Structure 1
Amino acid sequence: MDLRIDPLQTRLAEAVDTALTRTGDVYAELAAIGVPVLGAPQSLGGLGLGLSADIVVNARLGHGLEPLGAYRETVLVLELLEETGVAEPLLKEVLKGQRHATTAGVHTGTGLRVDAEGRLWGDSEHLPAGDFGLVVARATAHDGTTRPYVVSQDPATCAVEAGSLLRLPTVRLHFGGARAEALDLPAERWSRALDAARVRQAAVLLGLADRALAVARSHVNRRVQYGSPLVNLQTVSHGLARLVGESDGWRLLLHEVAWHRDQGRENPADAARLLAVAAEHALLCTRKALQLHGVRGMLAHSTAATAYRLASVEAARMGAPAALWDGATPHPAAPGLTSSR
């Protein structure tokens, strides 16, 4: 297997970098180059380029300090709803980049519930900021079973509350009797979709780590202390060299896991392990960047501080690293999901 970045991935990375430098709506700029259509299933009208294309997009978003979590949530929902025939008119808007989709209660428990009349009640966790028209919510039904439901965002039954985590924008959805349609999925599709979402999240975190290391390397080469650049101190140069080497290794692992998934040869535990190491590595690199910048790094507008805040939020969005290590085993059939066997 050749783990070198192919020409298509290189051009895609360049296109994402260009979109991030524009002054308009970032989501609109990404839609213009085919995001999220790039990795969306062909049965829904996407290009079906797979996870190998998605990780390139997300790694560059992380490096650009624009994680855009609504994009990853949208791709996850598209994978979950593939070939279900559910909410097709809204899916067309999502594929065009006009609206976003998200999950609620899928990555973390929220206590959402559905009554006997099929209406959803409760509050979501903090979600990435976005214009959501479609929600896949995991909720407990009146009979005690837990399963996923599809909900169309209606202002009358789903209020949106703007919020923040570590000064990063988020939203919470407050469901007050929203009409919910039960979604029956094969357990294998549910597991594969969640694993792919973890790999995309790992790509963002490794992109953040690379940006933090780039900023730290630039700083220690410029910063002169006691008549010599900081990089001449062995404790500084050796520490950064180790992190750079680890980044290269984790990036290769990221592409390997994505490639195996696209070939249908994935190990169900690899996605959780990859996300765990990516989260730990991103936190380590962003902390190192803060440390090396000293007081300058603690300023709210500094790149080092921004990277650290982003890493702190994104590292826990799909579970803390310790929990991911503990759960790095094949997914059991989730309640309310059917097996294709």
Structure 2
Amino acid sequence: MDPVQAQLADAVDAALDRTTDVHAELAAIGVPELGLPERLGGFGLGLGADIVVNHRLGRNLQPLPAHRETVFALELLPDWAVPEAVVEQVLKGSAHATTIGVHTTPTLRADDEGRVWGDSEHLPAGDLALAVLRAVAPGGDTRWYRASLREHTSVARESELLGVAGQRVHFTGTPATPVEVDDGRWRTALDAARTRQAAVLLGLAERALDTARSHVNKRVQFGKPLVQLQTVAHRLARLVGEGDGWWLLLHQAAWRHDSGADRAADAAQVLATATEHALRSTRLALQLHGVRGMLAHSTAATAYRLASVEATRMGKVGRLWREAGAAHLAAAQAAPGLGE
């Protein structure tokens, strides 16, 4: 990391150590203001700042998915559709935005008057002010809408996924405004969201491996520390080395995105690798801790549970690999000389 990124990482760690509202503490140090585009009232530091913030969220076992969903939702909307009041709340950390029916098959339906009905998927916990959603319109087409979640016709209900708190929103005729999300805006916002998600997963993996490394150096079996067993040491060393490589790949993907030189496969590939690495790392940490790792409050169990939830938030890993592979093939076929 460069000096600015290192200072930002320290600031995030300090904010997460405090006992007051986490989102308010992050807002006090400029999160998500630092990464938001200037047109949305941010400083426009881009993914170079965002990946550092989200990596530290994962590292501290506080993924705060509402933070990433808020940025993703705002980036999807055209400028005219972003309410200034919502941006002010976001920058203060007092409210969030979310997407619905974007990462999954849409379950909501919209009527001829633009009112939305149905139940959302499992959403991040937090006070929601705005939703960017996809709903099935009359005629069967899927369309984009913007809806205020301050309406009495949208009610949030607490829910859990693998013990991780969240919510589902029940819509009963909520007024929604149709919006156009063109392919360019969709691709740019989705790639950025995937890169942020990869940062969180790599942070979770790093915390799990650090915890496992500390444990096997202290845990004695058969008269010697566990780390002296090759089957333990080699597995840990391999994952630590892979994590360093994926961290570099993440920085490369963020730099390409910010400089406008990103490739179609970058975001899907970096999220797929981060997902697999996080699942392997947290699983190994759980195994090496044995019965201690199965305690619900243990760091190993918490990291494993969080990684399992975050690994599916933006789609299954198999789909990501297929998408990345198709993009690589398309790029290769388009290269001069290959089609002759």
User: By the TM > 0.5 criterion, same fold?
Assistant: yes
Structure 1 position 247 matched with structure 2 position 243 = yes
Q: For residue 137 of structure 1, what is the amino acid of its counterpart?
A: L
Work out whether residues 54 and 199 of structure 2, in 8 Å CA contact, stay in contact via their aligned partners in 1: yes
User: Post-superposition shift, 1:81?
Assistant: 2.3
1-side partners of 2:171 and 2:59: how far apart?
34
2-side partners of 1:111 and 1:238: how far apart?
46
Work out whether residues 253 and 266 of structure 2, in 8 Å CA contact, stay in contact via their aligned partners in 1: yes
1-side partners of 2:195 and 2:78: how far apart?
19
Work out whether residues 110 and 123 of structure 1, in 8 Å CA contact, stay in contact via their aligned partners in 2: no
User: Post-superposition shift, 1:85?
Assistant: 4.1
CA deviation map 1:17-59 (0-9, x unaligned): 0011101111111010011111111012111100110000000
CA deviation map 1:182-231 (0-9, x unaligned): 11122101111011101100000000000000000000000011110001
Equivalent residue for 2:113?
117
Equivalent residue for 1:287?
283
1-side partners of 2:299 and 2:147: how far apart?
38
User: Post-superposition shift, 1:143?
Assistant: 2.9
Equivalent residue for 2:24?
28
User: Post-superposition shift, 1:155?
Assistant: 4.4
Equivalent residue for 2:209?
213
1-side partners of 2:183 and 2:288: how far apart?
46
Work out whether residues 100 and 134 of structure 2, in 8 Å CA contact, stay in contact via their aligned partners in 1: yes
User: Post-superposition shift, 1:77?
Assistant: 1.5
2-side partners of 1:270 and 1:199: how far apart?
9
User: Post-superposition shift, 1:6?
Assistant: 0.6
2-side partners of 1:283 and 1:304: how far apart?
12
Aligned to 1:84, the other structure's residue is in SS state: helix
The TM-score normalised by the length of structure 1 is 0.93
Equivalent residue for 2:14?
18
Work out whether residues 37 and 46 of structure 1, in 8 Å CA contact, stay in contact via their aligned partners in 2: yes
Q: Which runs of 5+ in 1 are unaligned?
A: 331-341
Equivalent residue for 2:132?
136
Q: 1:172-211 to 2 correspondence within 5 Å? A: 172-211=168-207
CA deviation map 1:247-282 (0-9, x unaligned): 000000000000000001111221111111111110
Structure 1 position 154 matched with structure 2 position 153 = no
Equivalent residue for 1:265?
261
The TM-score normalised by the length of structure 2 is 0.94
Structure 1 position 168 matched with structure 2 position 164 = yes
User: Post-superposition shift, 1:98?
Assistant: 1.8
Aligned to 2:63, the other structure's residue is in SS state: coil
Q: For residue 307 of structure 1, what is the amino acid of its counterpart?
A: A
User: Post-superposition shift, 1:148?
Assistant: 1.4
Structure 1 position 50 matched with structure 2 position 49 = no
Moved more, 213-222 or 180-189: 180-189
Structure 1 position 78 matched with structure 2 position 68 = no
Q: 1:221-240 to 2 correspondence within 5 Å? A: 221-240=217-236
User: Post-superposition shift, 1:146?
Assistant: 1.3
Q: For residue 206 of structure 1, what is the amino acid of its counterpart?
A: L
Q: 1:267 to 1:19 in 2, by over 3 A?
A: same
Equivalent residue for 1:337?
none
1-side partners of 2:78 and 2:111: how far apart?
26
2-side partners of 1:76 and 1:286: how far apart?
26
Equivalent residue for 1:339?
none
1-side partners of 2:34 and 2:317: how far apart?
29
1-side partners of 2:150 and 2:81: how far apart?
20
Q: For residue 133 of structure 2, what is the amino acid of its counterpart?
A: A
Equivalent residue for 1:303?
299
Work out whether residues 199 and 250 of structure 2, in 8 Å CA contact, stay in contact via their aligned partners in 1: yes
Equivalent residue for 2:308?
312
1-side partners of 2:82 and 2:199: how far apart?
29
Q: For residue 224 of structure 2, what is the amino acid of its counterpart?
A: S
Equivalent residue for 2:87?
91
Q: For residue 199 of structure 2, what is the amino acid of its counterpart?
A: A
Q: 1:188 to 1:179 in 2, by over 3 A?
A: same
2-side partners of 1:294 and 1:142: how far apart?
54
Structure 1 position 322 matched with structure 2 position 285 = no
Work out whether residues 41 and 47 of structure 1, in 8 Å CA contact, stay in contact via their aligned partners in 2: yes
Structure 1 position 104 matched with structure 2 position 100 = yes
Work out whether residues 44 and 82 of structure 1, in 8 Å CA contact, stay in contact via their aligned partners in 2: no
Q: For residue 214 of structure 2, what is the amino acid of its counterpart?
A: S
The list of structure 1 runs, each at least 4 consecutive aligned residues, that deviate by more than 4 angstroms after superposition, is none
Provide the aligned C-alpha RMSD in A: 1.1
Aligned to 1:65, the other structure's residue is in SS state: coil
